[in-house]
C-alpha cells in the first residue's frame, strides 16, 4: 500500500529536500505541499493524505493549530510533527492537539523519517528516541495539573486571532484573512485579553511566543 503524504513547511528548500528523498523510495507518494497551516487545511480536505508531515513554527497559522483542526475535521489524515524546535512546551502542545508523532529535524535521518511516516500511517505513533521518555512523563504531569493561564483557555478562533495579532496584523488585515468583520475581530481580541488578564498587544505577543503560537 502506498502512503500518501502532505508536506507542510514554510521553507521551500526543506520541502524540496524531503520530496526528493521520499520520491526515490517505493511505498510513499508526496501528493502536495503547503507553506503554512492554513494552506495545509485546504490541501488536506482536497487530497485526504494518509500522513501530514507538519512543521510547527510557520506564519499565518502555526502547525499546532493546524494539527488541532486536521484531527477534528479529517481524522483519517494523521499528523506527524517534523520540527527543528525541541521546546517541551511546543512538544506538549502538539501532543495535546492530536499529533501522532514528533521527530526532530536535527537528529533525523531519511531512514528514521520513513519509519516514522509508516508507523503513523499504520495508526501507530513515533517519537524521536532521545526525547520519548521526557515527552511522555511531562505530558502526563501537565494533564494532571491546572492549566490556568494556558492557551487552552481560549477557543480555536481566538487562538487563530492571537497568532495573527502577534505577527503584527491589524484588525482590518485579520478581518480580511478570516473573512469576518472588523467588529468581530475586535470583540475576539477583547475576550482574549480578558481571559488572559493582559492589557496590551505586547503582552499578547509575549504570551503567543511563550505558548509556541508564533516565533520570536
DSSP line for 41-108 = HHHHHHH--SEEEE-S--SSS-HHHHHHHHHHH-TTSEEEEEES---HHHHHHHHHHT-SEEEEGGG-
- For residue 142, the model assigns a pLDDT of 52
Distance CA 50, CA 78 (A): 6
Contact status, residue 48 vs residue 31, Cβ threshold 8 Å: no
164: Cβ contacts below 8 Å, ≥ 6 apart: 60, 173, 174, 177, 178
Q: In the predicted model, is pLDDT for residue 98 greater than 70?
A: yes
- 43 versus 216: the higher-pLDDT residue is 43
- For residue 131, the model assigns a pLDDT of 61
Helix (H, G, I), strand (E, B) or coil at 199: coil
Q: In the predicted model, is pLDDT for residue 179 greater than 50?
A: yes
Residue 108 phi, psi (nearest 5): -115, 125
The 10s digit of each residue's pLDDT in 32-53 is: 999 999 999 999 999 999 999 9
Distance CA 164, CA 187 (A): 15
Distance CA 185, CA 123 (A): 38
- 93 versus 53: the higher-pLDDT residue is 53
Q: In the predicted model, is pLDDT for residue 172 greater than 60?
A: yes
- For residue 147, the model assigns a pLDDT of 47
Contact status, residue 103 vs residue 81, Cβ threshold 8 Å: yes
pTM tops 0.85, yes or no: no
Domains and CATH numbers, the chain: 3-143 (3.40.50.2300), 151-210 (1.10.10.10)
- For residue 206, the model assigns a pLDDT of 80
Amino acid at each position: 500500500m502506498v502512503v500518501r503524504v502532505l508536506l507542510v513547511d514554510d521553507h521551500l528548500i526543506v520541502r524540496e529536500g524531503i520530496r526528493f528523498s521520499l520520491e526515490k523510495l517505493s511505498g510513499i507518494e508526496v501528493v502536495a505541499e503547503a507553506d503554512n497551516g492554513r494552506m495545509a487545511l485546504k490541501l488536506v480536505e482536497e487530497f485526504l493524505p494518509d500522513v501530514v508531515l507538519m512543521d510547527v513554527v510557520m506564519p499565518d497559522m502555526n502547525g499546532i493549530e493546524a494539527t488541532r483542526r486536521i484531527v477534528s475535521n479529517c481524522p483519517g489524515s494523521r499528523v506527524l510533527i517534523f520540527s527543528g524546535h525541541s521546546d517541551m512546551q511546543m512538544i506538549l502542545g502538539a501532543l495535546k492537539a492530536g499529533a501522532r508523532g514528533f521527530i526532530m529535524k536535527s537528529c533525523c535521518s531519511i531512514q528514521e523519517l520513513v519509519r516514522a511516516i509508516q508507523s503513523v500511517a499504520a495508526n501507530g505513533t513515533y517519537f524521536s528516541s532521545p526525547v520519548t521518555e521526557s515527552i511522555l512523563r511531562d505530558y502526563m504531569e501537565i494533564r494532571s495539573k491546572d492549566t490556568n493561564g494556558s492557551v487552552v483557555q481560549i477557543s480555536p478562533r481566538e487562538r487563530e486571532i492571537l497568532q495573527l495579532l502577534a505577527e503584527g496584523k491589524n484588525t482590518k488585515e485579520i478581518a480580511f484573512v478570516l473573512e469576518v468583520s472588523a467588529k468581530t475581530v475586535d470583540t475576539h481580541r477583547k475576550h482574549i485579553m480578558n481571559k488572559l488578564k493582559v492589557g496590551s498587544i505586547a503582552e499578547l505577543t509575549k504570551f503567543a511566543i511563550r505558548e509556541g503560537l508564533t516565533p520570536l
